[in-house]
Amino acid sequence: MLSWGWYKVNADKAVFKELSSCGVGVVIRKNKGQMMGAMSKKMELPLGALEVEAKAVEEGIMLAKDLGFKRIIIEGDAQTMMMALSDHNSPPSSVQMIIEEAKRWRPVFSARRSKHLEGLVTKQHI
């Protein structure tokens, strides 16, 4: 369970290679699991899995910002993305611009992989 005042932003992606498109989905939950916001978006872009994951994280951060949430935990499936958001490594060049743009709005946040992927947890207080 999250501490009071924190929100979990779960961002995920889908890639449809045969359709040259992809999609992202975001769910934001409050400390007791209450849903506070959600969105999904289909994009007519032929992106790879990592690039779509980056877009999902970006959309999640922007939704949290739009809803006024400043203390967020970002959860996603791509370890590369979570490590880059937490400044533990440099992002691949294909997602560097998306990561840098997401970091421009720097709430107090934590990035971690989904629990089913051996949970990487890092916190960053800005």
Average pLDDT of each block of 10 consecutive residues along the chain (126 residues)?
A: 82 88 94 92 86 89 90 80 77 84 66 46 35
Q: Where are the domains of the chain?
A: 7-124
Q: Report pLDDT for 39.
A: 97
DSSP letters for 24-92: EEEEEE-TTS-EEEEEEEEE-----HHHHHHHHHHHHHHHHHHTT--EEEEEES-HHHHHHHTTSSPPP
CATH fold group of domain 7-124: Nucleotidyltransferase; domain 5 (3.30.420)
pLDDT (0 to 100) of residue 106: 61
Query: What predicted TM-score, i.e. pTM, was given to this entire model?
Result: 0.77
